[in-house]
Amino acid sequence: MINQYPLWKNLLILLVILTGALYALPNIYDQDPSMEISGSRRANVTEATAAKVTVALQDAGISFKSIEQGAGKMLVRFASNEDQLRANDLLVTTLGDGYTQALTLAADVPAWLRSLGAEPMYLGLDLRGGIHVLIDVDMDAAAKQAVERYTGDIRTLLRENRLRYITLTQGNNRVSVKFRDATIRDKANDVIYEAFPRLVIKATEEGGAFFIHGNISPREQTEIKRFALQQNITTLRNRVNALGVAEPVIQQQGDRRIVVQLPGAQDPAKIKEMLGATATLEYRLADTKGNINDALNGRVPPGSKLYRERDGTPVLLKKRVIVTGNQITNASSGLDSRSGTPMVSVSLDSQGARRMRNMTTENVNKPMAVVFIETRSITKIVDGERIKRKVKVEEVISIANIKEPFGARFQTTGLDSSEEAHDLALLLRAGALAAPIEIVEERTIGPSLGQDNIDQGFMSVVMGLALVMVFMVVYYRLFGLVANLALAINIVMIVAVLAMLQATLTLPGIAGIVLTVGMAVDANVLIFERIREELAIGNTPQASIFAGYEKAFSTIIDANITTLIAAVVLFSFGTGPIKGFAITLFIGIVTSMFTAIWGTRAVINLIYGQKRVKKLAI
């Protein structure tokens, strides 16, 4: 018989539909207001941590649905946003500084579905909300860092030109150099003026001493602050992109704040930690001549600084920095081939490579240290208010002899774990923050366009689907019912593909689904009209069905390919909402071809195949 699929093809179509239904199923479950807690190298999330959280919540009368542990972190689910926010304030003091807390929404998907890898699709901020973070950029610190750079550069410049000075100090947007001799002061004035034309240079005589004051002009201060803000936005965007967050929104708010919106965040605790992280590296020579005991008693040799290794061992290092994290162009984590310990492979820019090669060439067989620098934010509750303060931690993670000169590429070891090596490489690769930042607000947010708009968006899908289904039943009768079945399955398939790809659905994406609803039945309209034409010229019902599907196939393919091309172009050149529309349109066209052509034909074959019929209900 001509209208009959082999058993394997029917089973294959059924398998695809059932798989789609399975992976679309997680999307029917609600999302719980939750808190994700992760530890650090100083504090791990263990069963004792979970017990501590449980007792704290119960004593405070905060109800929670469950506490889940796994992969070095813990997820606490709550019944309401109020309980979530109360718990956040409580656990800040309960857990201490070694833990990172992040507010999130967690889908209440059964464990058996999660074990199959079935997860709900991500919804954009304009549908179900997400994580909203407001970041404040420390503009005063940006200006201070600029003064420190000028101070270091002027010190190096004077040494290279052998111009002796008494003191070199820095103050409020000013660098001051004190000289004994006016002649040397005048020579230094010319050298500094030529090297730093943007500084406002002024030579003075005060109390028998000769000074050069280099002031940062108000215009340059404004430029420094604007650059710091833009550089931080770029760095944060690089960090978020490296973590794989779908369609993040990172934009400036006012003259010193940055808004970060993270729809569908996969690991919100990690994201929060990486956003505020300021970890970087400094490479310094070790001071082998200074006395450690004298340094511990407050008598640190000139030109040196006292540091400590991670185990608390004191060590003296030279103040002069060879290279910093700002000169690192690329970084990747891995394992050292000789020791098997975690390491970070580092690449330097041309200036950093030149300084590193010169320094290592001059100091072969001498020790060089790697200093890990991190700014940590500590939160304490004082008189019922949350008070945050920042602590700068500098630790020596590695000291090793320079065996031979090296320059642009080398490895850094001494890290505690592969995770720390991975995080450090990510931060170095994304770029250093131009100024310290502080997360001043973090919250889960609802739809940015209002619940009414969301309801209208979903209503548009329902109404569009209902009207199309009514038309198809009235106009094509039984065949219309088959097309409606395929249309419903097509919606399920779109949701399943979005969930499997972990794509983000936004309101423009819903618009793409609505458009797909109309285009999906378009293929069936072509097929059914062709069947009617075959019946009109006197063909048998079975021959008409066969001809309808076979002869309309090329037309359907041509029409859908042109739409697919348009979707690809929209995705390639569009941004944000346009990409969301293009993704759902593309997926909808592909799934509709499967359901409208092969799906409906399989059902029609089951109804009319191997039967002698005189009339079709079409």
Q: What is the tens place of the pLDDT at every residue in 100-132?
A: 777 777 778 888 888 888 888 877 767 766 677
Same domain, 307 and 392: yes
Q: Which among 108, 126, 161 is the end of a domain?
A: 108
- Whether residue 233 lies inside any domain: the answer is no
Residue 489: which pLDDT band, with cuts at 50, 70 and 90? Answer: very high
**Alpha carbon distance 235, 231 (integer Å):** 6
The pLDDT of residue 21 is 92
Q: What is the CATH number of the domain that holds 326?
A: 3.30.1360.200
pLDDT tens across 238-256, in order? 777 655 555 577 888 888 8
Alpha helices in 196-302 (DSSP H): 218-243, 268-276, 292-296
- Whether residue 522 lies inside any domain: the answer is yes
- Whether residue 121 lies inside any domain: the answer is no
The residue among 503 and 163 whose pLDDT is bigger is 163
- Whether residue 37 lies inside any domain: the answer is yes
- Whether residue 437 lies inside any domain: the answer is no
Same domain, 481 and 568: yes
**Alpha carbon distance 206, 204 (integer Å):** 6
**Among 419-433, 528-542, 594-608, which is the least confidently predicted range?**
419-433
| Nearest to 526, CA basis, from 544, 558, 548, 541 | 548
Q: Which among 422, 442, 458 is the end of a domain?
A: 422
- Quote the longest CA-to-CA distance of the chain: 118
| Nearest to 289, CA basis, from 258, 254, 316, 252 | 316
Helices and strands per DSSP (H, E), number in the chain: 16, 22
pLDDT tens across 427-468, in order? 666 666 777 788 888 776 655 555 566 677 778 888 888 888
- Whether residue 362 lies inside any domain: the answer is yes
| Strands 130-137 and 209-216, sheet pairing | unpaired
Q: What average pLDDT score do residues 292-309 get?
A: 87
- Whether residue 309 lies inside any domain: the answer is yes
* Cβ–Cβ under 8 Å, residues 377 and 390: yes
The pLDDT of residue 442 is 76
Using a cut of 0.75, tell me whether the model's pTM lies above it. no
Same domain, 399 and 516: no
DSSP letters, 385-425, are: EEEEEEEEEEEEEEEEE--S---SEEEE---S-HHHHHHHH
| Nearest to 290, CA basis, from 309, 322, 318, 321 | 318
Same domain, 17 and 41: no
**Alpha carbon distance 176, 199 (integer Å):** 12
Instruction: Determine the structural domain holding residue 199 and report its residue range.
Output: 140-221
Same domain, 386 and 320: yes
**Alpha carbon distance 447, 126 (integer Å):** 5
| Strands 122-123 and 504-505, sheet pairing | parallel
The proportion of the chain whose per-residue pLDDT surpasses 70, expressed as a percent, equals: 87
Q: What is the CATH number of the domain that holds 477?
A: 1.20.1640.10
- How would you class 117 by CB atoms within 10 Å of its CB: exposed for 0-12, middle for 13-18, buried for 19 or more? exposed
The pLDDT of residue 149 is 80
H or E stretch including 317? strand 314-324
The residue among 350 and 375 whose pLDDT is bigger is 350
* Cβ–Cβ under 8 Å, residues 615 and 541: yes
Residue 609: how many CB atoms within 10 A of its CB?
16
Q: What average pLDDT score do residues 168-190 get?
A: 89
pLDDT tens across 495-534, in order? 999 888 877 777 788 888 888 887 888 888 888 899 898 8
Residue 448: how many CB atoms within 10 A of its CB?
18
The residue among 372 and 567 whose pLDDT is bigger is 567
Mean pLDDT computed over every residue of the chain: 82
Same domain, 82 and 201: no
How many degrees, rounded to 5, is the angle at CA 61 between CA 59 and CA 64? 105
Same domain, 416 and 455: no
Collapsed DSSP state (helix, strand, coil) of residue 63: coil
Residues in contact with 103: Cβ distance below 8 Å, sequence separation at least 6, in sequence order: 33, 34, 35, 84, 85, 88, 131, 268, 442, 443, 444
Place of tokens 């959280």: 53
The pLDDT of residue 265 is 58
Residue 19: which pLDDT band, with cuts at 50, 70 and 90? Answer: very high
The residue among 346 and 389 whose pLDDT is bigger is 346
Strands lying side by side in the sheet with 257-262: 249-253, 257-262, 130-137, 437-445
Residue 302: how many CB atoms within 10 A of its CB?
6
Q: What average pLDDT score do residues 218-227 get?
A: 86
Same domain, 318 and 398: yes
Same domain, 527 and 399: no
Q: What is the CATH number of the domain that holds 70?
A: 3.30.70.260
Same domain, 203 and 343: no
**Alpha carbon distance 568, 582 (integer Å):** 7
- Provide the strand spans (E) within 469-615: 504-505
The pLDDT of residue 120 is 85
- Whether residue 438 lies inside any domain: the answer is no
**Alpha carbon distance 431, 4 (integer Å):** 62
Q: What is the CATH number of the domain that holds 150?
A: 3.30.1240
Residue 296 has pLDDT above 90, yes or no: no
Q: Which among 176, 200, 221 is the end of a domain?
A: 221
Same domain, 334 and 321: yes
Same domain, 209 and 285: no
Count of structural domains within the chain: 4
